[in-house]
Amino acid sequence: MTNIKKIAVLTSGGDAPGMNAAIRSVVRTCAYHDVAVLGVYRGYQGMIENDFAPLDARSVRNLVNRGGTFLKSARSKEFRTPEGRKKAYDNLVAAEADALVVIGGDGSFTGALLFNQEFGFPVMGIPGTIDNDIYGTTYTLGYDTALNTVVEAIDKIRDTASSHNRMFFIEVMGRDAGFLALNSGIGGGAEKILIPEQHSTLEDLVNEIAINHNKGKMSNIIVVAEGYTTGQNVYELKKYVEAQNPDYDIRVTVLGHIQRGGAPTCFDRVLASRMGVKAVESLLEGKSNYMVGINNDKIDLTPLEKAIKGGESKLDPDLIRIAKIMSV
């Protein structure tokens, strides 16, 4: 065991459901081990601006079920500079913090790793992002909640699609990764799923839609990941397909930020609780520069460097095949 007496915790990057449950877990694990907690508001920017508050087991009540992050999140340009990180370090030391838990995405982990390399300050990461695109963990916090939000939306849109024989392009989040699109597409029964990992041409798309039509499919749900790369956005895709098939009734729904909010699912709450315990106990064991992850249902650690640079987290190719079979 180390002589860590106070742990700072912050949330950084895009907010994700389950971040509050993770903060709660960090705080309660610290309380369990008699370690004090320093809550840092507004991510790294709050570290630079001394925006701190002590947290105890009672200050995180009624949080497990709440979306977003009560510590607030921010993107901090200043933390990208050595001067900004030095200010943050001086503030943490003045507040008597001995270690830092960062809940965020790979950008936040890059900042945490630099911070450790420059000042030797112990850091531990917890992956929080709805995109699920972090190497070293099968699931990130917020992904399961977002997935369920998207499936619920697809179910509702399907009612209209089938009542009017309409085709819907539904854009879901995922700039670089198709996890949300692929899994929500399978769960929501989409006829076609367009993801960044799989390239196809607009002609392919039009051909497939025609094939579906000939099979007697009168309505179509097409799930499009934000980062799907034909060089066209979802409205342009619609325009193109419409131009080829003027008699189709096509609509576009961009789900946008509703995917980020809302109460975390039980899965995300349990995951957050498990990850928070592991993050704190690993720091108390003297470990640093790791990201907590879940692999084969076991909570484990991946070096931050690997989580950042280890490569893309890969979609299961079998799922892509399953999506194809389901839309036969």
Shortest reach from residue 180's CB to ligand ATP, in Å = 13
66 annotated as belonging to a binding site for a ligand? no
Q: Which of 80, 213, 251, 287 binds ligand ATP (CB under 6 A)?
A: 80
Shortest reach from residue 184's CB to ligand ATP, in Å = 18
Q: Which of residues 5-24 bind ligand ATP (CB under 6 A)?
A: 12-14
| Nearest position to ligand ATP, beta carbon | 107
321 annotated as belonging to a binding site for a ligand? no
Q: In the numeric block, which tokens belong to residue 224?
A: 């499009």
d(CA 312, CA 248): 37
Residue 218 φ then ψ, to 5°: -90, -25
Q: Is residue 31 within a helix (H) or strand (E), and if so which, with residue range?
A: helix 19-32
Our answer to whether residue 131 is catalytic in this structure is yes
Question: Is there binding between residue 116 and ligand ATP (CB under 6 A)?
Answer: no
For residues 125, 78, 257 and 277, what is the CA-based torsion angle, rounded to 10 degrees?
20
| Residue 300: Cβ-neighbour burial (10 angstroms; 0-12, 13-18, 19+) | middle
| Vertex 113: Cα angle to 110 and 118 (nearest 5) | 125
Q: Which stretch binds ligand ATP (CB under 6 A): 76-84, 160-168, 235-243, 259-267?
A: 76-84
Q: Are 124 and 300 in contact (CB under 8 A)?
A: no
DSSP string, 268-307: HHHHHHHHHHHHHHHHHTT--SEEEEEETTEEEEEEHHHH
Among 324, 274, 282, 319, smallest CA distance to 301 is for 282
Residue 274 φ then ψ, to 5°: -65, -45
Shortest reach from residue 75's CB to ligand ATP, in Å = 3
Helix, strand and coil percent figures for the chain, each rounded to 5: 45, 20, 35
Q: Which of residues 28-57 bind ligand ATP (CB under 6 A)?
A: 44
14 annotated as belonging to a binding site for a ligand? yes
Among 206, 254, 200, smallest CA distance to 226 is for 254
Q: In the numeric block, which tokens belong to residue 130?
A: 């709805």
191 annotated as belonging to a binding site for a ligand? yes
d(CA 63, CA 40): 16
Shortest reach from residue 150's CB to ligand ATP, in Å = 17
Question: Is there binding between residue 132 and ligand ATP (CB under 6 A)?
Answer: no
- 22 or 157: whose CB is closer to ligand ATP? 22
- 12 or 20: whose CB is closer to ligand ATP? 12
Shortest reach from residue 9's CB to ligand ATP, in Å = 15
- 191 or 268: whose CB is closer to ligand ATP? 268
Count of residues touching ligand ATP (by CB under 6 A): 17
Q: Which of 111, 125, 174, 196 binds ligand ATP (CB under 6 A)?
A: 111
Q: Which of 114, 206, 254, 320 binds ligand ATP (CB under 6 A)?
A: 114
Contact residues for ligand ATP (CB under 6 A)? 12-14, 44, 75-76, 79-80, 104-108, 110-111, 114, 129
Binding positions are 14, 24-28, 75-76, 105-108, 129-131, 158, 166, 173-175, 189-191, 215, 217-219, 226, 251, 257-260
Binding-site residues from annotation for substrate: 129-131, 166, 173-175, 226, 251, 257-260
